[in-house]
Amino acid sequence: MAEIKLAAEPRTEFGKGAARRIRRDNKIPAVLYGHGTDPVHVTLPGHESMLALRQTNVLLSIELDGKGQLAVAKDVQRDPVRNVIEHIDLQVVRAGEKITVDVTVNIVGESAPGTIHLVEEQTLSVEAEATHLPESVDVSIEGLEAGAQVHAEEVTLPAGATLLTDPKAVVVLITEPRGEASADEESADSAESAAEAPAEG
């Protein structure tokens, strides 16, 4: 995955008031940290950053003072109402380095007729090379019958990625929908119990 370049500016003002002024200028407060260096506080271009972060585990090249620094977003704080980005924590990475990221589970195919699937794990934690981070993993449920389970260890990961989630964790569960049929069965069970009660006496 090619990195996306974002032009950063040093940030010298701090506090809520300063953050509001930064966001009014269509910029986003951010901090760069990692590799034993002191955190570097910067501002990023708002629109470009929002577009870049639509991708999961995107590799960013933060351009600051004429130098580019590879980083990944580890925490993105959003306004819950307006859904705008309020702050970004960026982890400095290096080519060849392996880091831990969460990848989205993408369900592929259709389970057997009359069944539904329940996604128990929306993401899987993996270790991968910083410049080749996976965005998602495909989990096929094609033709699976009720009662079937797909465990984390059965998911095919991209080359170079190592699973960190519990291998036995259930990622997807195939089941039958709980609906009118279940209610009918319960009624039938109750009727059978009532019919058997006198016989027991």
Over the stretch 33-68, which tens digit does the pLDDT of each residue have? Answer: 988 778 999 999 988 999 999 888 999 999 998 888
Last residue of a domain, one of 93, 123, 149: 93
163 has a pLDDT exceeding 50: yes
The total number of structural domains in the chain stands at: 2
Residue found under tokens 């995107």: 58
pTM of the model: 0.73
Question: Which domain range does residue 146 map to?
Answer: 100-180
Confidence band for 15, pLDDT divided at 50, 70 and 90: confident
Q: Are residues 9 and 85 in the same domain?
A: yes
> What CATH number did the domain enclosing 146 receive?
2.170.120.20
The mean pLDDT value for 117-141 works out to 94
Q: Are residues 159 and 85 in the same domain?
A: no
Please tell me the predicted confidence (pLDDT) of residue 35. Answer: 81
Measuring CA to CA, how many Å separate 190 from each of 39, 139, 185, 198?
66, 40, 9, 14
The mean pLDDT value for 15-22 works out to 77
125 has a pLDDT exceeding 80: yes
Q: Are residues 89 and 14 in the same domain?
A: yes
> Which distant-in-sequence residues (6+ apart) come within 8 Å of 49 by Cβ?
6, 28, 30, 85, 88
Residue 168 lies in a domain: yes
Q: Are residues 105 and 33 in the same domain?
A: no
Q: Are residues 13 and 42 in the same domain?
A: yes
> What CATH number did the domain enclosing 40 receive?
2.40.240.10
Residue 20 lies in a domain: yes
State phi, psi for 190 to the nearest 5 degrees: -65, -40
Q: Are residues 110 and 85 in the same domain?
A: no
Please tell me the predicted confidence (pLDDT) of residue 182. Answer: 45
Q: Are residues 135 and 115 in the same domain?
A: yes
